[in-house]
Each structure stands twice: as structure tokens, then as C-alpha cells.
Amino acid sequence: MKSPMNRVMLFTVLALTGMKAIAASSDSIPYPIEPALNVEVVLHQQEIAVDVTSTAPVAAQFGLLGALVGAAIDNANAQAAEKRVADIRNLLVDYDFNQSAEGAIKAAVASPGISPAPVITVRKSGWDAVAEQGNAMTGPQQTLLRLVPHYAIASNFESIKVSLQAFYLQRTVKDSGKIKESVIFSRNYSLELPLEKIQGSGADEDADRWVALGRDGLTVLIGQGIQQTADMLAYDFSAEGRALIANAKSGKSTQFHGKTYRGTVLRENPDYIWVANGKYKSRTIVGVQPVVAPAATAEPAPMPMPAEVPVPATEPAKK
């Protein structure tokens, strides 16, 4: 199982290392992006991750000692979160996030604004995506849409987030034989599922609230995150989405469930909101769908006595 640090290194390999942004104008994304677009779906995780909010940037303002203290706090938070998340992972042990994400992404990509006939390759890990670069090339230059789904719970257990990173890349074979990847544009789509606050509820109590939802409750929420992030991808490149975001005015803010969200509102209803920021080179679409979860009971409900369990009537065997 990959550690959180290895997952960070993976995203660095896929998204940042060796990539150089290509200058382009706001009208340089064709409709569709490509008729037969090369798409690479990278499925890199086998269990729900834990996102630790780092205190290092703030602590570093107080010098080396502050940075060391911040790093120690981050490490302690990560260890505590890994212990708390065990029960949630046990509930999801047979839940196939990757399979659900793959199906939703394939449906979203085959849309009029992205590609009517995409050529989709699925990589089972980020390392596979790096190792297979050369084999995927069909000439000295190639464009590619790389999609990386991800899901995680916050280390304070206040929210679960499902995300989808998208990178439209240009691959070029250099004279040395090495492959250079340059980012033409990037997108980040996410749906945050925050717990509605309960007075006095801390990380332990909130972790128990997620567990109280049970496997079915958790998988329904994560499934909604998968579907909504895939829908964001398709909408972003639809005729309606392109026009709305291209004409958006900066500085707008919207109130939703008592919080302020800045950006262009793409969708809003009583259950969730989508807000977009950025235009051509880098854009984020953030969705928020609050979760109402009851406080976990202090003691589990008593199991019924054997005599109270109804026994199903048997039917005579049919001839």
C-alpha cells in the first residue's frame, strides 16, 4: 500500500515534473477538443486517502524552529488520522472506487465538446503511466488528455472530497529519445462533502459520524462525488459551459449554507453548488454538497435475542 508521501510524489511525477506550460489564447481549445482524442485514465489508489492540512507554511514564518514545530504537528496529525480512518476503510474494503470512476469518466469524455470518438487507455497506477510513455507514442509528437481521479477524507474528519485532475498534454520525443511532456491546459474538478457541524464535535466524534452512515451511506456519497466531477468535466467543455465561463466576471461571491464562495456559479440548488474560477490555462470547478449525519451513539444498539429473530416460512419443494 502506498504511503501518503508516495501519493504526493506520484502527483508530482504526473502533474509537475518535466512539464512546461504552452502559451495559448482563450479561443485555442477547439470544439470538440479532438475528434479522436487520446485519453489516459490513471487509477492510482486502492483505498480512501487522508488529506492532511499542512501547518508548515504558517509555522515557517517563525523561522527554523517554527518550521520544525509545524512539521511535528503535521506528522502527529497524520498518525492520529491514520488510526481514526481504519474503521472507515474497513467499511469500504470491498468498494471499487476505481471501477466506478473509470465508468463515469469514459461516459463524460465521449461528449460533443470533448471527443465524439475518444481513444481511452486505462493505467492501473501512476508509475505505469510514466513507464508506458514511449509505447503510447505513435509519432514524434502527440497530444493527450490525462485524467486522475482521487478521493480522500480530511485529517480533521470534517469532510470527504472526490476530485478529478485533468491535464491536456503535448508529448514530444527529444533527440535523446526521452519524452518531454508540456501542459497545454489543466483543470481540477472536485466535490467536497462537508459534515454539517454539531456543537462540540471534534475529529473523533466526526470520524464516528462517518462510520455511523454505514457502507451504503458512504458509497452513495462517494458515488455522487464521482458522478458530479465527471459531469463537471463534460460541462466545462460543452457549448454552454464554455460560453458561461468565457463571459464570467471576476470577484463575484455567493452565499451557500452560511459560507461564502467566490467565482462563477455554474449550478446551484438546495443540495449543492458548483463554482468556477480561472479561464483558459488553469481552471477549477469546486462543488460543495453538505452532508447531514447524525451524532454517533455512545453505545451500539443491542442485538436482538435469538428468539426475537423472525424465522422465514419454508415453502414445499416444487416438482
DSSP 204-257: HHHHHHHHHTHHHHHHHHHHHHHHHHHHHHHHHTSHHHHHHHHTPPTT-EEEET
pLDDT value at position 304? 42
Position 110 pLDDT exceeds 90: yes
Q: Which domain holds residue 236?
A: 4-48+85-298
Per the structure, the count of domains in the chain is 1
Judge whether 183 lies within some domain.
Answer: yes
pLDDT value at position 132? 66
Judge whether 75 lies within some domain.
Answer: no
Judge whether 24 lies within some domain.
Answer: yes
pLDDT band at 21 (very low <50, low <70, confident <90, very high): very low
Judge whether 162 lies within some domain.
Answer: yes
pLDDT value at position 105? 98
Judge whether 148 lies within some domain.
Answer: yes
Judge whether 77 lies within some domain.
Answer: no
204: left (phi over 0), alpha (psi -120 to 50) or beta: alpha
Top-confidence residue, 221 or 179: 221
Judge whether 100 lies within some domain.
Answer: yes
CB contact at 8 A, 69 and 174: no
pLDDT value at position 134? 60
| pLDDT tens string 124-178 | 877 776 666 666 666 778 899 999 999 999 999 999 999 999 999 998 888 777 8
Query: In the Cβ-directed half-sphere of 78, how many Cα atoms lie within 13 Å?
Result: 15
Judge whether 310 lies within some domain.
Answer: no
